[in-house]
Structure 1
């Protein structure tokens, strides 16, 4: 399920979303990973939260800038500051 109303437009918004997923703040079960992907039908980029069977649990559309510049954040995780 991809939420149409909740587009992630900035890297700060992506970071907040990733932290919510990591901390269990969205109430999703069996979260195994997060990936950036594109929709097969229209090429629109989104961030996908995947379960242990690589099935989509939740997706949020992302801007082109976030898709291009947020890859390392998704791949390596959010760097926490102390």
Structure 2
């Protein structure tokens, strides 16, 4: 589920989103990971919250700049950077 109105356009915004996911504040169950990905139909980049079956639980569109520069933040997680 990706809401077209929610676009993460800064690395700070991406970090805030990751902290919400990591803390459980979004109320998502069975979260197994987070990934940056692109939409198969139009190539638009997004951050995906995945369950242990690699199914999309929640997604947020990201700008190309966040996609290009946020990979380490997603790989390491926001909590581990502080």
> TM-score category by the smaller chain?
over 0.9
SS in 1 for 2:50: strand
Higher helix share: 2
SS of residue matched to 1:60: strand
> Structure 1 runs of 4+ off > 6 angstroms?
none
Superposed CA RMSD in Å reads: 0.5
TM-score normalised according to structure 2 size: 0.96
What 5-or-longer segments of structure 2 have no aligned partner?
none
Residue-pair matches, total: 80
Q: 1:42 aligns to what?
A: 42
- CA deviations 1:14-58 (Å, max 9, x no partner) are 000000000001000000000000000000000000001110000
What's the TM-score once normalised by structure 1's chain length? 0.96
Q: Which runs of 5+ in 1 are unaligned?
A: none
